[in-house]
A and B are shown apart, each in its own frame.
Chain A
Amino acid sequence: MVRFVISRLLRALVTIVAVVTFAFVVLRMSGDPAQVMLGPDVPQEAVDAFRTSWGLDQPLWIQYLAYIKSIFTGDFGVSMRDKESALQLVLERVPATLQLTIPALLLKLFIGIPAGVYAALHRQSAVDRSVILLAILGFTIPSFVMGLLLVLIFSVTLGVLPSGGQDTWVHGLLPTITMSIGGIGILARFSRSAMIEVMGQPYIRTASAKGVTWSNVVWNHALPNAAVPIITIVGFMVGSLIAGAVIVESIFSWPGIGRLLVVSVSNRDLAVVQCILLMIAATMVLSNLMVDLLYGWLDPRLRRQTVH
């Protein structure tokens, strides 16, 4: 068990370093922060001075090594724009993002899974067909279209909900709904097919044949088996709690991490962008690890499976 967790953590570390390296290279190649920060009409001396002070005049690989070294000492650098600690800047925005993503996740779970399971148990019924249709609509419409559509309906036409800002919880409604709809669709589809698969298994017939009541067949015999594939999707959703709001936060001018990322990228604020990417990678990797551990808990076959 310990060996398993350690090996997974090592793999996670490799993933994170890969993400950081990728971000580092791409960001340096895509434009000069000095030019972007200082604007076009600044004298060359000022640009050079900026470069020297941020170490941008060094060869790329030295910059990279210095950066990696500082990460491992817990130093995520300083924002070029605000001269504040990048980590500080990012952490300040985390609560705002979670205010959207956690309710959205709960909506996905508590609407998506029950809808999918219900549809699976009532196959070919009107409810089943509607669930499939809505689910497809849900995850095929991109969130920026969905967001604008909802704004158009609830803010512009009906005037019942605000279209942007973070003043009260009411302001969070539209962004949360926008963010959850795609996930609800995906989860509904996934839970439905997982449940249909499980309900066709011989052990479900066995349970019925030994006189287990219908609701207990579903709750005790089918759902624990269907949970395994569903967990995969949920794990992915948990992993994107931090990063999943980039588009929606921009549409609804919500001051979360997503907004910060967009702004920082356009400013070539390297330290902040890298800090955000690192955090996104870390949550993804962590949630994957959790999913793997959950698999073992849910499915005893994976605990002691014979692997080649």
Chain B
Amino acid sequence: MSFDLVEIRDLKVAFDGTQVLHGINLSVDRGEALGLVGESGCGKSVTWLAALGLLPGKAAISGSVRIEGNELCSAPRQALERVRGGRIAMIFQDPSSSLNPVIRIGRQITEALTLHRGIGGETARAEALRLLDMVGIPDARRRFDLFPHEFSGGQCQRLMIAMALAGQPDLLIADEPTTALDATIQAQILDLLNQLRAETGMATVFISHDLGAVSQVCERVCVMYAGRIVEQGSITQLFSRPRHPYTRGLFDAIPRLDGPRTRLVPIPGTVPNPKQLTAGCAFSPRCAHSVASCDFQRPELDVMEDGRRLACFNPVLADEPTPALQTVMEDA
């Protein structure tokens, strides 16, 4: 029997008794690019931090995370440490503060090489230089012994990517990797991520609140809301025909750079407090589509006829117009 590269089953996370992740089921195939989309607090980052055991000790985690069939959730720390960076690498939102300020960047990269590939000394240095070259750090030989603060934000993210590549991982988790960067640099990093995936064949999970950035990198996407996946499908499916009212709302809320300048269509209300979730669909208080049952019953994430997964009792119809003229109670 062949396994998916990573398979997450019923992953739940609670902080101090407040549940923030409510049973995530998700699998990542070899070499694929998966997007995880949602607003702050939806649990998109927590999912992967929990999977790799990187959450603080007070987090209560249950469920199963398997990499090629091997369970990570109950694995001893040594096993987890081999997977981190070796099988699954991760890069983060704020590259400048994600690198250790007092360690030379060359050493930060060779450290990963020693850990996962057992090489040191001159061999490691040569390999690190090759990686720096690969991620587009100019003049790497001369800058090998510099400290992180001597690099710009965009270059720091390239350094983070080089460090992630050091362990030759099968999966790269990129957690909002371009959010803190300027527009033109953002485009460079997205381009680099695409190019590296093509060259190395490693799978990518791209976590972002930016639907635009996700569609430039990913093939498949999961939309999350309040600790659950609400819609999941291919980029083309979701972006041409969003079915969940939340997915549709996200699209409508983004201002456009082309076409007529119309009034924006916000999603009314705010994200619910995780301490005060009701038995119903978490989105129903903000949902223009909600029906009576939404308030006390929760829709399951079911497979639709076109192959996508959707958790909604009253999904958006295929060609429903944008509710531009609808008066909504805006209450941020």
Contact = CB atoms under 8 A, between A and B. Distances in A.
Interface of A: 201-203, 205-214, 220-221, 224-225, 298-301, 304
A211 B84 CA distance: 5
Given A205-B54, A209-B52, A301 B85 contact: no
A201 B97 contact: yes
A200 B111 CA distance: 21
B29 interface: no
Main secondary structure of the interface of A (DSSP, over half): helix
A301 B115 contact: no
Top 4 A-B residue pairs of the complex, sorted by shortest distance between their CB atoms: A211-B85, A210-B85, A300-B147, A211-B84
Contact of A210 (B77, B84, B97, B149): B84
A182 B262 CA distance: 67
A214 B77 contact: yes
Given A209-B52, A300-B101, 12 more contacts: A205-B98, A209-B90, A210-B112, A210-B163, A210-B167, A211-B84, A212-B85, A224-B102, A225-B100, A300-B147, A301-B101, A301-B147
Contacts of A212: 81, 85, 111, 115
B81 A211 contact: yes
Contact of B115 (A211, A221, A224, A298): A211
Contacts of A221: 100, 103
B51 to A, nearest CB: 11
Contacts of A203: 97-101
B43 interface: no
A206 B102 contact: no
A298 B99 CA distance: 16
Interface in B135-155: 147, 149-150
B220 interface: no
A210 B103 CA distance: 15
A298 B54 contact: no
A202 B98 contact: yes
Nearest to B92: A202
A298 B100 CA distance: 12
Question: Which residue, of B54, B81, B100, has the highest number of chain A Cβ atoms within 10 A?
Answer: B100
Contact of A206 (B83, B99, B115, B167): B99
B110 to A, nearest CB: 12
Given A299-B101, A300-B149, A202 B167 contact: no
Contacts of B98: 202-203, 205-206
Interface residues of B, number: 33
Interface string B166-177: 110000000000
Nearest to B115: A211
B94 interface: yes
B167 A211 contact: yes
A272 to B, nearest CB: 45
A211 B112 CA distance: 8
A214 to B, nearest CB: 7
B242 interface: no
B86 to A, nearest CB: 6
Contacts of B99: 203, 206
A163 B112 CA distance: 57
Nearest to B96: A202
A210 B164 contact: yes
Contacts of A220: 103
11 contacts: A201-B97, A203-B98, A203-B101, A205-B54, A206-B99, A206-B160, A207-B100, A208-B54, A209-B52, A212-B111, A212-B115
A204 to B, nearest CB: 8
A205 B160 CA distance: 12
Contacts of B166: 210
Nearest to A206: B98
A260 B149 CA distance: 50
Question: Which residue, of A205, A207, A210, A300, has the highest number of chain B Cβ atoms within 10 A?
Answer: A210
A301 to B, nearest CB: 5
Nearest to B90: A209
A206 B160 CA distance: 9
Contacts of A208: 54, 84
Nearest to A124: B58
A209 B84 contact: yes
A202 B90 CA distance: 12
Given A205-B98, A301-B147, A304-B150, A211 B82 contact: yes
Nearest to B150: A304
Given A210-B112, A212-B111, A225 B102 contact: yes
Given A210-B84, A211-B82, A211-B167, A205 B100 contact: no
Contacts of B112: 210-211
Contacts of B92: 202, 205-206
Given A212-B111, A212-B115, A206 B100 contact: yes
B103 A211 contact: no
B89 interface: yes
Contact of A213 (B81, B83, B90): B81
A209 B54 contact: yes
Contacts of B86: 211
Nearest to A211: B85
Contacts of B101: 203, 225, 299-301
Contacts of B97: 201-203
B12 interface: no
A305 to B, nearest CB: 8
A210 B89 contact: yes
Nearest to B164: A210
Contacts of B158: none
